[in-house]
Structure 1
């Protein structure tokens, strides 16, 4: 009951700030961008001009999966930035303003406070990413070649783990510092470092959460789930739980002012 009260407060605030509306809309636009620009690129180049007279623009059509992966690449860049920005002050801002002190003075557990915020932002971000992937899949199937819907659902489920991991890292950083801008910087720096490590040690450390994106390409192509993706997902779930425990412990042992 206590957890639901805190969660409902967070959800209500998200609705009041229209996060449940504009965040999914932004991801839908990101999902539409690559299929449309890739398909209409010859017309775009022709309209822009600057080509020699009589030049014929013949751009081979890329595989449908590659176009969908371009959209996922947009989520990994602009999408991650949006996720970090909308949640960078969820705890840090309340600690800085004193709101957290007023809430935690009541008999509310620190883990309740942390996990309720985590669940709220996880639901918003997973919903937004799912909407973005579905919009991209629709236009990819319409303009290029149909990708089985089951493949997309499976890929979206695994990719959601990566999104939830990003939210979790941001929540943990919120408990370390009180300045939202610093939270955003630390989160993005951590994620960039993780992706660099994943690229350098891709074969030695093929369980790093950032590699989920590279594995779902096979899911979209064949529908098969690579063994590496299962292990990476298990590690990601374990890290999410660990980071939430660390966040609750850190907040409990810091002065909430």
Structure 2
């Protein structure tokens, strides 16, 4: 356990040195506070500067608080995920390419501790950034638009946090398999976009999909409960995260052992 804590602290210090603990939360905070502000002032902006006929701005009413929070998650799913993937795409592949991992693994360090410490740090940074941005979104939604039941907010945020954890795990797993960080990012985007599109277009077939978690979180904001198939999607996502993390450890061990025996 002491070894794991040392590795985890190493990851945190490295991210602080690279300012990831500053700019990633800042991006999420900006996204979080922008959405309710834009939603509230959009009708006035359209009326003043949109060149629309008189009264046309009324066709763009201010959305409800639940809708604003759901739209905020939409921003996180686009720009936020882009930022996270670009920040983490070299988690293992980058260190393997520049030889940093050799300096660590030359010591008696277990492969499971090495990978799991990276995963824990990546998840922590992603969830802290998401939480910071979402708090700003909730605050300005309450201030400008209307309140949303706290239980709905917490449940929806927890479900979306699991989706972020899934995406981060995909990045880490691909980073252990593929040497190129750019290829890791490309494939991660491909996986997440495919899951999201398939879940949106074929919800009856994709009830198990992690891509359904975003729509379930929206449902929690609106209604206080998930859509049909929520528990199946939740359990499948947790299982897939565990499988991918185990696969990442296994692949990393095999690759490193092959390097040391040649």
Give the TM-score category using the shorter length.
over 0.9
Secondary structure of the structure 1 residue equivalent to 2:23? helix
CA contact (8 A) 1:100 1:256 kept: no
What RMSD, in angstroms, separates the aligned Cα atoms of the two structures?
A: 1.8
Which residue in the other structure is 2:231 paired with?
230
Query: How far is 1:94 from its partner?
Result: 0.4
- Following superposition of structure 1 onto structure 2, how do residues 1-257 of structure 1 map, counting pairs within 5 Å? 1-48=2-49, 50-51=51-52, 57-58=57-58, 59-226=60-227, 228-254=229-255, 255=258
Secondary structure of the structure 2 residue equivalent to 1:40? helix
Please give the alpha-carbon distance, in whole angstroms, between the structure 2 residues aligned to 1:62 and 1:178: 45
Secondary structure of the structure 1 residue equivalent to 2:124? helix
Query: How far is 1:46 from its partner?
Result: 4.0
Please give the alpha-carbon distance, in whole angstroms, between the structure 2 residues aligned to 1:82 and 1:105: 32
The normalised TM-score by structure 1 is 0.93
Please give the alpha-carbon distance, in whole angstroms, between the structure 2 residues aligned to 1:207 and 1:11: 33
CA contact (8 A) 2:7 2:113 kept: yes
Query: How far is 1:66 from its partner?
Result: 1.1
Tell me the number of residue pairs that the alignment of Structure 1 and Structure 2 aligns.
256
Please give the alpha-carbon distance, in whole angstroms, between the structure 1 residues aligned to 2:96 and 2:144: 49
Query: How far is 1:21 from its partner?
Result: 2.0
**Any stretches of 5+ residues in structure 2 without a counterpart?**
none
Query: How far is 1:201 from its partner?
Result: 3.1
Please give the alpha-carbon distance, in whole angstroms, between the structure 1 residues aligned to 2:213 and 2:163: 7
CA contact (8 A) 2:206 2:212 kept: no
The normalised TM-score by structure 2 is 0.91
Please give the alpha-carbon distance, in whole angstroms, between the structure 1 residues aligned to 2:130 and 2:50: 35
**Any stretches of 5+ residues in structure 1 without a counterpart?**
none
Of 28-37 and 59-68, the range deviating more from structure 2:
59-68
Query: How far is 1:2 from its partner?
Result: 0.9
